[in-house]
Amino acid sequence: MKYLKQFVIGSSAIVVFPFYYAVQNNQPKKTYTYYKYTFLAPIWFGLWNVISLILANHFKLSLRNRFLLVTILSSLSVMAIATHFKSYNFTDTEWQKYYAYIILKYLKVV
């Protein structure tokens, strides 16, 4: 039951709506549809929240360390998936800026 709770929290509207907005308004070079993104994003965030709980329990991490670890892992996986599936029509320079943006965005710096 605790995993279901974590999934629901991670996939909640308050978590995914800012990402919906960013994808709709700030990603003109995307090669995926907004419809697909709105379907997959809650599942993605919900699963990462469950994974973070499992890792925290296994490694006895504090809440802060739990979310720092999952921030790093999930941002790297987002970059790998976007690159592998060519999710954007970017030049090499734009890809580098995208990677920096993802890291900063996931760390809540921007």
Q: Which two tokens stand for residue 43?
A: 């599942």
CA–CA separation, 104 and 13 (whole Å)? 22
CA–CA separation, 84 and 71 (whole Å)? 20
Q: Is the pLDDT of residue 27 over 90?
A: no
Residue 8: per-residue pLDDT: 96
For 17, the 3-state DSSP assignment is: helix
- Which residues are bridge partners to 30 per DSSP? 88
Q: What is the pLDDT of residues 38-69, one digit of tens each?
A: 999 999 999 999 999 999 999 999 999 999 99
Rg (CA), the chain: 15
Q: What is the four-CA torsion angle of 11, 12, 13, 19, rounded to 10 degrees?
A: -40
